[in-house]
Amino acid sequence: MGVVRIDHIGVAVSDLQEALKVYRDGFGMGDVHLEEVPEQGVRVAVFHVGESRIELLSPLSPDTPVGKFLESRGPGVHHVALGVENLGSMLEELKSKGFRLIDEQPKVGAGGAAIAFVHPRSTLGTLIELCERPKDKG
Ligand code: ZN
pLDDT digits (tens, 9 = 90+) for 23-67: 999 999 988 999 999 988 999 999 999 889 999 999 999 999 999
Distance 129 CA to ligand 1 centre (A): 6
Distance 126 CA to ligand 1 centre (A): 13
Distance 98 CA to ligand 1 centre (A): 23
pLDDT digits (tens, 9 = 90+) for 51-61: 899 999 999 99
What pTM, to 2 d.p., does this model score?
A: 0.91
**Angstrom distance (rounded) from CA 6 to CA 42:** 21
- Domains in the chain, start-ordered, CATH in brackets? 3-137 (3.10.180.10)
**Angstrom distance (rounded) from CA 68 to CA 61:** 9
Distance 9 CA to ligand 1 centre (A): 7
Does residue 60 contact residue 42 with C-beta atoms inside 8 Å? Answer: yes
Distance 55 CA to ligand 1 centre (A): 7
